[in-house]
Structure 1
Amino acid sequence: MNCLKVSLLLFFFQLSFGQQVPKIAKKIYTTKSLGTLPPPVLDGILNDESWNIVDWTGDYIENLPDENTEPIEQTKFKVIYDKEFIYFGFRCYDKDPKGIVKRLSRRDGFEGDWLEINISSHYDQLTAFSFAASVAGVKSDGFISDNGKTWEGNWNPIWYLKTNIDEKGWTAEIKIPLSQLKFSDAPEQIWGLQSTRRYFRTEERSLWQRIPLDAPGWVSEFGELHGLVGLSPKRQIEMQPFVLSKLETYPKEEGNPFKTGHDFTINGGLDAKIGITNDLTLNLTINPDFGQVEADPAAIVLDGFQVFYDERRPFFVENRNIFNYTFADDQDNLFYSRRIGRNPNGQPNLPNGAFMSIPLNTTILGAAKFSGKTKNGWSIGLLESVTGKEYAKIQQNGLTRKELVEPLTNYLVARAQKDFNHRNSYIGGIFTATNRNLETDFLNFMHKSAYTAGIDFMHNWNNRKYYFKGNAVVSKVDGSEEAITATQRNMTHLFQRTDAGHLQVDTKRTSLTGTGGKLEIGKASVGNWRYKGSFIWRSPELELNDIGFLRQADEIKQNAYLSYETLKPFGKFRKITTYLDETSNFDFEGNYNKMQYTLGADAVLKNNWNLVISAIYKPVNYSNSILQGGPRFRYSEDFFKSISITSDSRKKFRYNFTLYDNQAKNNSFSYSEINVGLIYQPINAFTLSVNPAFSSNKNKLQYVTQTGINTKIRYITANLDQNTLSASIRFDYNINPNLTIQYYGQPFISRGRYNQFNKVINPIAQYYADRVGIFNSNQIDFNEAENRYEVDEDVNGTIDYTIHNPDFLFVQFRSNMVARWEYIPGSEIYLVWSQGITSNGNPNENLVSELDSQILGRKPVNTFLIKITYRLSL
């Protein structure tokens, strides 16, 4: 708490006597309409007559590493427009044109020398469109929100680019359809404008509009584009039908009618985008293809919690910033789009001698999304999606029947936010609804309906130097007694905890209502210091996981953060950021569960190497969840350290190294991990990377299971020795900017072995060995035939309970090879070969031999896919 007090004192001192935010003069560029002149020919050579109607602008200023100094090479540009397009012409001077680096990459690669345009056509000081062009002709684009804090790179608009190298350096011509931008219908408009150039040889960034490193944001500091007269907003109408054929081969299972060795499907669908106004867009999808180009990384979960995975599906990615509602920690969100189309929830009991087939994903029958931002500062989002019924097919004695495993479900998300006070403040709200048509008693374990609502706000003052923001959410789930009882008992809530005086399972309840929220205040700009303090709560009844993401409820958290950033290079350093973070946690009964201190530093050297170090100390650490419904459990105090070193990213051979180490008092548990990244780019068109990783997890009190003797529950832990080995392998071959081949592969193996089984006797004892009682050789015996441990706790010759052998060895290999050809802008052909193997090996063998036998010694599942899309703009 001392750190919090210091941060608050610093905050109020700076509030009263701190520096005022310096005013940087806004640059203004005035463009002109082409009128009756022909548009420039897009060839990368700026010799068209149309370019002569406007003047050059330039005088770029260095931003990194030495802010507010003259860059090594200057840049200048022109802007013109007509009724359909806006055109940019760039001249990037270079005294050594042969030294210009033309690295190829797939789209959004940001390799080699490049330049970037940011256009805030709403001029709302919060959002902007980004278009970047590399000298090799590779396009990168994205949507910027939250005044530069968020950059969404999966936005892929249609635009055109040509570059050329000459004796003065290099040039670029860019043509952007006005239909890809959002702007008002005002007769004369002003847009925010910024341009960045990367000079690769020294890793220098220079800007058209100067933005100091301690500025309050990015978009709010842009220069201005004037002269936009008589622009007519374009109502964008795009349709993108697709056709997909897929062949899957896998090991045949004799007698199983669902595993014949191969499956072939052909499918089609349609994505559409309709500009209702130039501000608001309606996205529609029918029978969408939501297949992943790259598989989710493998993971072994021993704590029982769900794993958070990023969203990559284009329909949900576009305008994601509008629907986002992170209300507490980074992953807690009222809308987690991967709930839509997830695996079916039901799992029927399979009779002996029967075979079953369950769909991998729930079919999305259709989805629509209405979203955008108006000229008046309203951000609006409305999403509606319907997923269909899914059935398990069960065959027994030659007869086939179906059993419903996922009901017809409707998902709704409504989001609105309003900027005001000259864009320095906003207030917003969100509402989500999940409704299921539960037709059978078998699905009564699911919620019939789930609703959440929230409000959020933010206020900046003193030219965005200080801020105050917050939110509050409420949730309500309804269902059968079975469903609500299961919710009370799941890992997020654990109402059955034996020592929780404020909680108890009520098997008669048919609904739960909970709340949560966050308040935060801090200093965001000016000078070297930054600080913030926050308060978070999640009530025990809060439940978001029907369409949101919530890891754990029943928590009250306080956080204080203080950081120092250098603003000028010094000595051997380009920049250093250091920080101190303090966090404390309580539950709603008032138990003091955690105190954590974090000290870290991030240093960028002048040779472009990067060094990141951190240390975390936890003097107080209790868990309400580790015994999965059992009493509150104490962890020994521990000390975590990490160091990461990254070499110069400009080199053809580059590498990184990361080491994690965590040690608890009395050696009650330890964790160490090493990650190595090797990247080699022998030619501009080809990149190979290998990222091996090894981790060792040793825990003398790892939770195993809970069982009963008479009417008393026993919580069983053991000494775990777990080793994990994995490697990510990638290569990119870029024939040209529009034709690329990528490969991704990941072998993964994790082995865990347990010994010294014990029962919990005093879960909050200070010394770790006093928390448990270890079974001696007379109390526990391993039954090899049944693969289980048998416990005779009172040594009377009668087995009191059994423990299934928890030893494991999990092996997985996933790979994808994708050839992508963008044959015309926005239209693509994909050729995909995907391969996967998942198996359980012998935990008594070593990692390397089992990795070899389980991957090379088994037949994989192969998927061959051809997908053709065609984007039609009307």
Structure 2
Amino acid sequence: MKKQHFLYFLLFFALGYGQKKTLQTKFISEKITLDGKLDETIWQTVPIATDFVMFQPDNGKVVPQNKRTEVRVLYDNEAIYIGALMYDDEPNKILREINKRDEFGTADFFGVFINGYNDGQQNFQFFVNAADGQADCLATDNNGEDYSWDAVWDSKAVITDFGWVVEMRIPYAALRFSSESKQTWGVNFFREIRRDRQKYSWNLIDTKIGTFTQQNGTIDGIENIKTPTRLFFLPYASFYTYANANQKTYGELKGGLDIKYGINDAFTLDAMLIPDFGQTKYDDRILNLSPFEQQFNENRGFFTEGTDLFSKGNLFYSRRIGGPPSYHPETQANEEIIENPTTVDLYNATKISGRTKSGLGIGYLNAVTQKTYATIKDTITQQTRRVLVEPLTNYNVLVFDQRFHKNSSVTLINTNVTRNGSFRDGNVSALVWDLNTAKNTYNLSGNFKYSYINEIEDKKSGINSLLSFSKTSGKYRYYGETNMITKGFDNNDLGINFETNYYSFYGNTSYRILNPTKIFNSFNTNINAYTQFQKETGKLQSDQINLNINSTTKKNHYIGFGLEYRPVETYNYYEPRTEGRYSIDPTRFGSWFSLSTNYNNKFAIDFNPTIAFLNESKRTSYGIFLSPRYRFNDHLALNYAFNFFRQNNNKGYVDSGSNNDDLPPDTIIYANRNVINYTNSLNGKYSINSKMNFNLSARYYWSYTENKSFYELENNGRLTPYDNYTDNKNQNLITWNLDVSYNWWFAPGSQLTILYRSNAAKYDNLINKDFGNNYTSLLNNEDLSHVLSISLKYFIDYNQVKNVF
């Protein structure tokens, strides 16, 4: 027995902890048919990548022989080909839920990670699941996996009597690499056996090291490839039918064109001409009581795909482009606004991105939005006039990112917004660094940002700087940072920033298990502490500490728990909405719990209650998130989510003398209020096959604030009763959104989408607590709109059509 243990140790060391594995490939001239059979003779002439080791949960454990994986790689002048055999001793138990693109579902999957520069910084990842579905993403250690990136490639997965087989064809257009005659790529192969919740990789991904992309093996033998012209067109046409209670049904035809051109093997130009965002996912609006704007996710493909360079330094918030107008129209006596656009139309947008063989990444993004006007009517004369609320505007982002030592980088970023005429311009520059030791044990990172705002009557500048140091490997890890933002820092023309004029300190320490125990597959606990001081006065703005525990049981159920504590009163300089004024936030103690059962089961549930107590009379908050899901079969699944959150005796801003002429100029009014939020959502899918899906997404949101009494904010930050205030400052927001869609990927990169959408919103200060009545009145609201749209996008490869012309 001891001898067996010793041999197992030698095998484990050789396979898991030896040098990086290398796989040899070869050039082919014959045609490969993607049928999941690997029956072309050429497949048998190249070496096999095998001897996979476990990534999770038992890191480094050798894969059983009866579940081994064998991978072969070939290439020609157009693409790289991957053939993979996934052995399984019980093929009938292979999970194969069908899902739409980029969603794995409950299914086994195989993936290949490719780094054409072999610089350990970024992987192009391609996945195929056992239901023949595709997913792809860009992966970096800093930003994780970005599934908004979509490439055009082809694959086929087939279940067999010994397991399952995958064939993949990945065109060079989907990758980035140097132009050298002899290539060495970083590569890794990945497999998940879903029913066991076990993940394996060809080259060991050691979880003791806090990096993923730097643990690839290599592939040799790619030589003298003559890549074809990378020129692709994506023309699209859409037809929309609109209807609501205020107008007749009418139709609208739209069309446009996207172009992708490979300037060389490393750099790509993307251009969007005549954009159409009509089928973009709706925004989840909330009743926002904070002094800051609500931040929305980006759902437009052009601004999400391949934008990892532009996210450096966190200066780029793409929703600024084509978002709400910058200026609100001013009205005179007896005037009213009869038309005020909520968005600004986009003329066009282009981006260039890529990386040289020396590791220099260059990114350039430019977008132009058109003039936008509001319409104002004189209620006496009935005459109307137009007011410019957004001039012709140019948005620009420029990035230089130098990688070195395969794990570090220094980046220079500039964002610029230029508005035509006498309007505000904004310019922000940043230096960002991310430095790691040779063994990826320690990290030193930070940034220095400078903003300059140019307005006709005002110019201002500011600084935002951050420095952090961390231990990034092993069971015990720690992190510390300090951050300072001056009062004048403003990157909100093309970025988003909430708090300024402070300096802060943050630190955490954590412990994790690296291999399963008798109770847990994974376990992690961390302690975090944060303090923030107002820069000019030194007053404490934030002070909190929290403890979190996250774990996965042997049956793959997630269980988490946390405590958070604010031990002292803090000064809030943001809630009063007036420079130099502050209110005092009380001490606070809170807790949360989270349970997520194994999604492999047909029925699973997510459960997350929270509660907090504040050191004021009867001031509490509590909530619950409950989300059951059921998978009827491999085609049909539904997921319902209910989210409730309530704040009792919350204190917050409602009015001030600067906004209300009936109040003294320096008066600030707070309300003692209850704030209640309900969110109900339903998501479902029916997949005919991996390329044809029906999807349902519905959300009903209701939130209201009920003011019970009013206070005046004193200069010392305390609140005193203010009985003379009688305005109704209750707020009530109800929204409804429904999307029902049919998607058919009828060819690589080509898609037909039919979408029905209805939405409505109601905002007022009248609260009706009858849940059912609120719902029906919203659906009967005159603002309820219906849109039926059909959109066709067709991917054209220049190399396939050039002979036609």
In the other structure, the counterpart of 2:353 is 371
Distance 1:337 1:840, change over 3 A: closer
Aligned residues of 2:674 and 2:705 also touching (Cα < 8 A): yes
Out of 298, 305, 325, which is 1:311 matched to? 298
In the other structure, the counterpart of 1:469 is 445
Distance 1:650 1:398, change over 3 A: same
In the other structure, the counterpart of 2:601 is 651
Shift of 1:858: 2.7
Residues 1:152 and 2:146 are matched in the alignment = yes
Q: Secondary structure at the match of 1:616?
A: strand
Aligned residues of 2:480 and 2:506 also touching (Cα < 8 A): yes
Shift of 1:81: 1.0
Instruction: Please give the per-residue CA displacement for 1:620-665, whole angstroms capped at 9, x wherever unaligned.
Output: 3221111111622211100121111000011111110011211111
Shift of 1:846: 1.3
In the other structure, the counterpart of 1:489 is none
The separation in 1 between residues aligned to 2:455 and 2:367, in whole angstroms, is: 21
In the other structure, the counterpart of 2:512 is 565
Shift of 1:843: 4.1
Instruction: Please give the per-residue CA displacement for 1:453-482, whole angstroms capped at 9, x wherever unaligned.
Output: 11111221141111111110100101133x
Shift of 1:403: 2.8
Aligned residues of 1:618 and 1:637 also touching (Cα < 8 A): yes
Distance 1:403 1:701, change over 3 A: closer
Structure 2 residue identity aligned to 1:463: K
In the other structure, the counterpart of 1:734 is 687
Structure 2 residue identity aligned to 1:641: S
In the other structure, the counterpart of 2:563 is 615
Residues 1:431 and 2:431 are matched in the alignment = no
Residues 1:820 and 2:770 are matched in the alignment = no
Distance 1:534 1:473, change over 3 A: same
Residues 1:249 and 2:243 are matched in the alignment = yes
Residues 1:217 and 2:211 are matched in the alignment = yes
The separation in 1 between residues aligned to 2:428 and 2:337, in whole angstroms, is: 39
Aligned residues of 2:27 and 2:75 also touching (Cα < 8 A): yes
Residues 1:103 and 2:26 are matched in the alignment = no
Instruction: Please give the per-residue CA displacement for 1:159-208, whole angstroms capped at 9, x wherever unaligned.
Output: 11112122111111111112211111212111111111111111111111
What TM-score comes out, normalization by structure 1 length? 0.85
In the other structure, the counterpart of 1:413 is 397
Structure 1 residue identity aligned to 2:706: R
In the other structure, the counterpart of 1:861 is 785
Out of 26, 30, 36, which is 1:32 matched to? 26
Distance 1:855 1:188, change over 3 A: same
Aligned residues of 2:185 and 2:218 also touching (Cα < 8 A): yes
Q: Which runs of 4+ in 1 moved over 6 A?
A: none
Counterparts in 2 of 1:290-309, with a 5 A limit?
290-309=277-296
The separation in 1 between residues aligned to 2:653 and 2:280, in whole angstroms, is: 36
In the other structure, the counterpart of 1:339 is 320
Distance 1:655 1:561, change over 3 A: same
Unaligned runs of 5+ in 1: 1-21, 253-259, 327-332, 440-445, 482-509, 765-770, 781-790, 792-801
The separation in 2 between residues aligned to 1:296 and 1:627, in whole angstroms, is: 28
Distance 1:465 1:516, change over 3 A: same
Distance 1:521 1:852, change over 3 A: same
Instruction: Please give the per-residue CA displacement for 1:348-386, whole angstroms capped at 9, x wherever unaligned.
Output: 356758672233321111111111122110111111111
Alignment coverage as a number of residue pairs? 770
Shift of 1:762: 6.1
Structure 2 residue identity aligned to 1:747: Y
Structure 1 residue identity aligned to 2:514: L
Aligned residues of 1:659 and 1:673 also touching (Cα < 8 A): yes
In the other structure, the counterpart of 1:14 is none
Structure 2 residue identity aligned to 1:871: F
Structure 2 residue identity aligned to 1:113: D
The separation in 2 between residues aligned to 1:734 and 1:418, in whole angstroms, is: 43
Aligned residues of 1:842 and 1:850 also touching (Cα < 8 A): no
The separation in 2 between residues aligned to 1:592 and 1:757, in whole angstroms, is: 26
Out of 460, 468, 477, which is 2:436 matched to? 460
Instruction: Please give the per-residue CA displacement for 1:506-562, whole angstroms capped at 9, x wherever unaligned.
Output: xxxx1001001110111111x201111101111000011111111111011111111
Out of 612, 633, 637, which is 1:687 matched to? 637
In the other structure, the counterpart of 1:628 is 577
Shift of 1:400: 5.4
Residues 1:188 and 2:182 are matched in the alignment = yes
Aligned residues of 1:104 and 1:734 also touching (Cα < 8 A): yes
Aligned residues of 1:129 and 1:181 also touching (Cα < 8 A): yes
Out of 541, 557, 562, which is 1:593 matched to? 541
Instruction: Please give the per-residue CA displacement for 1:732-791, whole angstroms capped at 9, x wherever unaligned.
Output: 111111111111110111121111222223644xxxxxx32224xxxx4xxxxxxxxxx2
Counterparts in 2 of 1:545-556, with a 5 A limit?
545-556=492-503
Shift of 1:847: 4.4
Structure 2 residue identity aligned to 1:204: Q
The separation in 1 between residues aligned to 2:191 and 2:477, in whole angstroms, is: 28
Out of 362, 366, 374, which is 1:380 matched to? 362
In the other structure, the counterpart of 1:517 is 465
Structure 1 residue identity aligned to 2:428: T
Structure 1 residue identity aligned to 2:572: S
In the other structure, the counterpart of 1:484 is none
Residues 1:717 and 2:670 are matched in the alignment = yes
Aligned residues of 2:190 and 2:199 also touching (Cα < 8 A): yes
The separation in 2 between residues aligned to 1:222 and 1:161, in whole angstroms, is: 22
Shift of 1:576: 0.4
Residues 1:602 and 2:550 are matched in the alignment = yes
Distance 1:858 1:710, change over 3 A: closer
Aligned residues of 2:760 and 2:779 also touching (Cα < 8 A): no
Out of 138, 149, 156, which is 1:162 matched to? 156
Aligned residues of 1:40 and 1:51 also touching (Cα < 8 A): no
Distance 1:772 1:602, change over 3 A: same
Aligned residues of 2:650 and 2:675 also touching (Cα < 8 A): no
Counterparts in 2 of 1:87-166, with a 5 A limit?
87-111=81-105, 112-146=107-141, 149-166=143-160
The separation in 2 between residues aligned to 1:668 and 1:539, in whole angstroms, is: 37
Aligned residues of 2:625 and 2:642 also touching (Cα < 8 A): yes
Shift of 1:117: 0.7
Q: Secondary structure at the match of 2:309?
A: helix
Instruction: Please give the per-residue CA displacement for 1:248-302, whole angstroms capped at 9, x wherever unaligned.
Output: 11121xxxxxxx3444321111111111111111111111113353211121111
Identity across matched positions, percent: 26
Q: Secondary structure at the match of 1:717?
A: strand
The separation in 2 between residues aligned to 1:359 and 1:713, in whole angstroms, is: 33
Residues 1:48 and 2:40 are matched in the alignment = yes
Shift of 1:840: 3.5
The separation in 2 between residues aligned to 1:537 and 1:772, in whole angstroms, is: 30
Structure 2 residue identity aligned to 1:415: V
Instruction: Please give the per-residue CA displacement for 1:475-497, whole angstroms capped at 9, x wherever unaligned.
Output: 0101133xxxxxxxxxxxxxxxx
The separation in 1 between residues aligned to 2:312 and 2:146, in whole angstroms, is: 15
Aligned residues of 1:640 and 1:660 also touching (Cα < 8 A): yes
Shift of 1:703: 2.1
Aligned residues of 2:337 and 2:374 also touching (Cα < 8 A): no
The separation in 2 between residues aligned to 1:172 and 1:840, in whole angstroms, is: 52
Aligned residues of 2:214 and 2:407 also touching (Cα < 8 A): no
Q: Secondary structure at the match of 1:865?
A: strand
Out of 311, 315, 319, which is 1:324 matched to? 311
The separation in 1 between residues aligned to 2:386 and 2:656, in whole angstroms, is: 35
Instruction: Please give the per-residue CA displacement for 1:215-264, whole angstroms capped at 9, x wherever unaligned.
Output: 23111111111111112344411111111221211121xxxxxxx34443
Aligned residues of 2:656 and 2:665 also touching (Cα < 8 A): no
Which moves more between the two structures, 203-212 or 857-866? 857-866
Shift of 1:119: 0.7
Structure 2 residue identity aligned to 1:337: S
